[in-house]
Amino acid sequence: MHTSDLFSAPPLDAKQQRMAQLCDVLQHHAHQYYVLDAPEVPDAVYDQWFQELQALEVAHPQWRRPDSPTQRVGGKPLDGFDTVRHAVPMLSIRTETDTESSGAQAFDTRVRKELELEPDATQVEYVTELKFDGLAMNLRYEAGILVQAATRGDGEYGEDVTQNIRTIGQIPLRLRASSALPVPDILEVRGEVYMRRDDFEALNERQRERIAQGERGEKTFVNPRNAAAGAVRQLDPAIAAARPLSFFAYGVGEVRGGVDVATHHELLLALKAWGFPVADLTATTLGAAGLVEFHQRIGSLRDTLPYDIDGVVYKVNKLALQQRLGFVSREPRWAVAHKYPAQEQLTTVLAIDVQVGRTGKLTPVAKLAPVFVGGVTVTNATLHNEDEARRKDVRVGDTVIVRRAGDVIPEVVAVVPESLASAQRGSLFTMPHVCPVCGSVAVREEDEADYRCTGGLFCSAQRKQAILHFAQRRAVEVEGLGEKLVDQLVDAGLIHTLPDLYRLGFTALAALERMADKSAQNVVDALEKSKETTLPRFLFGLGIRHVGEATAKALARHFGLIDALMDATMEQLLEVNDVGPTVAQSIRTFFDQAHNREVVEQLRACGIHWPALEAASDAPKPLAGLTFVITGTLPTLGRDAAKDLIEAAGAKVSGSVSKKTSYVLAGSEAGSKLDRARELGVAVIDEAALRQMLEEPT
């Protein structure tokens, strides 16, 4: 039976058939999860089917099968390990799937009802813990020495994984005893083996390197829980030792010799004293309000924790009350796991589109059948880049696991294995070699994973980013042209390309929402002022990939004229200092796009200009060897523009005045740098003197 069949409820007269279906599929997925460490569906989906089967069996007990998954806790142990019978069964606790505050309130209501407490009676005290997403473990100590470690297995029988567990540094081989807290003769400690998120990422990175080197049998892991379970079940302890595993203790099994504690909280403190790690976020609280507060607080921290959790656990604190409450259907009445919205779900890939980001990055995006995951309905999930899409082999028609954690963009984690054999699968994804928005060439540079659109000045997807970059202070500088105004201008259809900036009039600007006449005039004036710039600032403002301020200056000095740069060959570009093959190819690709050259020509036609520079090979450097310091406000030049002119003429610009300073260029409201220049006898010049020096050799 196909997994997707379970998402469609059968007619009422087919309930017995539905129960048989659910039994078979749940047994299959339990085997994949517990025995093979290769889960095919998210936990939330398994829980959904399990609860449906439970409800059907309650309504129709005559049809309940002896081998129903509801009659057991988990899967069978692996054949490769010895079998261990638990002295005290490792039972599951009830899962509260109502992820709202009402889930915590419902548990408190049930506890109070079972204890026959009146509404005005004292509040019940609880211990609140994290529900770790790892592998449950039973550690048996005799006379304080670790003698056995066993997995949960089916709750009655588990797998002996002692040698592998000994490799986990957080698990003590000998308990720490004291006169105040002696070690019991026999103590079984229960807790969770897990893998931290940073350790998981490092492990997967190593796995990817091994795969790239052609090592056979290597794979990456879907999530930290899968990686931790796989490490524990390695038959070779040396392999387990190489996997970074961690452990948290949260309870006990068999105890002989007595532990003098009255509450679960005291028991956790005892475990900590004996040498076990206990999660810091474990706490005690009172009543439903305390449970709600803990659930909400941990929910807000969930995505920042160094490990994965899928909920929290509430336990009645007093052990005497736990005894009174007892068990029902092999689940304790005194404890519950309160889940958060599922971070993983199953859905179907309807299409794979390519989105173009503000910076020109092309990202493959899976269009999905709507699915509720991470608290929201998701219809799109990123595939990151072509390599990732092909590595995961995501295709149209596949059933996939989608993950969304917090505010993180939803992503496709993996394809459900049965999809791989489907004849209905689409073809392997290949990134288009032209931008799907503007048709410009899309390039992937060496050693990079991403394709990028080369039509930055032309592509509508990059329009806002291109304008903001061009207008920033370090480029042509259009004062007052910020993100909000650019959004208004583009969204209103007033600007399509950069030259449209200089075609804006006062009337169009003043008509914008929340734009006063004075503000509109200020923008018009700023645009006019920005027409006088320098070649390095103009080149930087074009947003050519890999061309930063320093490279723009080097290009301007070398070629002198923008026409010479636009027509330069790869060989000529490589003659420029600090320009290597990658940068040269990026420049060449940019100017090979006819629409980019058209934008440059239109900007010049709109009146943007800069002082002429001679090519580096021919022009003398009038200020070569000199050092300048700029201070105060110059009459017409901004500080960056003055710096560009000085550096283009061969001089250096320093931030502080010293005896080595040749000149201090001072404007109005000059400060301490001017005073320092006078103290040291450094020559002080104004803007007019600088312009004269640039025209005449010193």
What residues are labeled active site?
131
Token reading at 323: 């005894």
**Secondary structure of residue 669 in the 3-state scheme:** coil
Amino acid in position 416: V
d(CA 343, CA 82) in angstroms, rounded, equals 35
For 530-540, b/e burial (b = at least 16 CB within 10 A) is bbbbbbbbbbb
**Secondary structure of residue 156 in the 3-state scheme:** coil
- CA torsion 177→178→184→185, rounded to 10°? 70
Q: C-alpha 466: how far from its chain's center?
A: 26
631 closest CA partner among 665, 663, 681: 665
Please name the residue ranges forming H helices in 158-286: 162-165, 197-212, 224-232, 237-241, 264-273
In eight-state DSSP terms, residue 666 is: E
d(CA 319, CA 382) in angstroms, rounded, equals 48
- CA torsion 575→576→580→581, rounded to 10°? -50
| Torsion 235-237-240-242 (CA) sign | negative
Residues 6+ apart with CB under 8 A from 649: 621, 622, 623, 624, 693, 694
d(CA 62, CA 680) in angstroms, rounded, equals 102
d(CA 424, CA 446) in angstroms, rounded, equals 35
d(CA 88, CA 300) in angstroms, rounded, equals 36
Phi–psi pair at 604, nearest 5 degrees: -65, -40
Q: C-alpha 574: how far from its chain's center?
A: 38
Instruction: Note every long-range contact of 23-29, with CB atoms under 8 Å and residues 24 or more positions apart, other chains counting.
Output: 23/53, 23/65, 23/67, 23/68, 23/69, 25/1, 25/49, 26/50, 26/53, 26/69, 27/67, 27/69
**Secondary structure of residue 613 in the 3-state scheme:** coil
Amino acid in position 451: Y
Query: For the CA atoms of the chain, what is the radius of gyration?
Result: 35
In eight-state DSSP terms, residue 598 is: H
d(CA 84, CA 68) in angstroms, rounded, equals 23
170 closest CA partner among 249, 90, 110, 88: 249
| Torsion 169-175-179-181 (CA) sign | positive
Q: Are 360 and 339 in contact (CB under 8 A)?
A: no
Q: Are 69 and 336 in contact (CB under 8 A)?
A: no
Residue count (the chain): 698
- CA torsion 478→482→485→489, rounded to 10°? 60
d(CA 582, CA 615) in angstroms, rounded, equals 23
